[in-house]
Amino acid sequence: MEEALWEYRTTYRTPTEETPYSLAFGIEAVLPLERQIPSLRLSIQEGLTGEENVLLRLAELEALDQKRIEPQQNLECYQARLSRAFNKKVVQEDYSNGAYKFVDAGGLRISPINAEFLKSYYP
């Protein structure tokens, strides 16, 4: 279960184009494999002094608002694309003057009745 949760938090999501971990904490997660085989990112961070590390974290904190706004905008664009695709399938029903629409008590539409077919069963 723990591996599945870790995978979910570190996998990029399509609408936001960010990982849930980076949206929550503002930085990318360090994978356990990166601890065993140091990556360039970890090598750079470990080579920093305490003061440089604090300045780096403050710069990341200032950029965090912009980093959170971009996924929100991506999500809004994604939802707009989905709604446009869905609205193409919606059919507007236009009733001329005097036309009726049959609906039952629950608001569900009743299909049209074929009178010729009905006459053969109910003469």
Name the band, by pLDDT with cuts 50, 70 and 90, for residue 9: low
Question: Which of 22-26, 65-69, 101-105, 119-123 has the lowest average pLDDT?
Answer: 119-123
Q: Where are the domains of the chain?
A: 2-89
What is the C-alpha to C-alpha distance for residues 19 and 31, in angstroms, rounded to an integer? Answer: 13
Distances (CA, A) of 56 to 38, 43, 51, 109, 120: 20, 14, 9, 62, 84
Q: What is the pLDDT of residue 5?
A: 60
Q: What is the pLDDT of residue 80?
A: 92
* Residue 102 CB partners (closer than 8 Å, separation 6+): 109, 110, 112
Distances (CA, A) of 43 to 19, 37, 47, 73, 97: 22, 10, 6, 33, 76
**pLDDT score of 1 more than 60:** no
pLDDT over 90 for what percent of the chain?
2
**pLDDT score of 85 more than 80:** yes
**pLDDT score of 37 more than 60:** yes
Contact 105/52 with Cβ under 8 angstroms?
A: no
**pLDDT score of 2 more than 80:** no
Task: Please list the residues that pair with 103 across neighbouring strands.
Answer: 109
Terminal C-alpha separation, the chain: 66
